[in-house]
Amino acid sequence: MTILADPMERALDLARQAAEAGEVPVGAVIVDPESGAIVAEGFNQPIAGHDPTAHAEIVALRRAAERLGNYRLTGLHLYVTLEPCAMCAGAISLARIGKLVFAACDPKGGAVIHGARFFEQPTCHWRPEVVQDEATGETASTLLKDFFKARRA
């Protein structure tokens, strides 16, 4: 397992890879907080995979569960460059992620501090600690804005 000083920087690198592949630039990294080791990572792949559920978080969660042989990822930390949508928030809850760290807010599609506020719902049975990484929020936001600006040009 790889150990990184800053998992969010790796998530941003993955987001850049997604953009280069023509996918919305979102990257995700799952880390074991005790060792600092990366358990799994992923970036958006719904176009290439013909899979509407292949968001960065889902890709990383699937890989981590497969690697560990368990769908419960209790205590692990998930770093993602964009506030998760409702689908991803649900998957994060079901996986029992211990801490969610996201960079850019998503007022339109986010479901953690915007929209549905999934983890605040009474039907949500597992709530991770949630942290917005404001230090990388602007970088992640710029990646997204530049990606969509280029697509409209």
The catalytic residue positions are 57
CA distance 10 to 80: 10
Q: Residues marked as binding?
A: 55, 85, 88
Closest CA to 94 of 104, 86, 106: 86
Report the binding-site residues for Zn(2+).
55, 85, 88
Q: At what angle do helices 7-20 and 56-68 cross, to 10 degrees?
A: 120
Within the chain, where are the H helices?
Answer: 7-20, 46-49, 56-68, 86-95, 134-152
d(C-alpha 140, C-alpha 90), whole Å: 22
R_g (Cα) of the chain, nearest Å: 14
Nearest to 147, CA basis, from 49, 12, 9, 6:
12
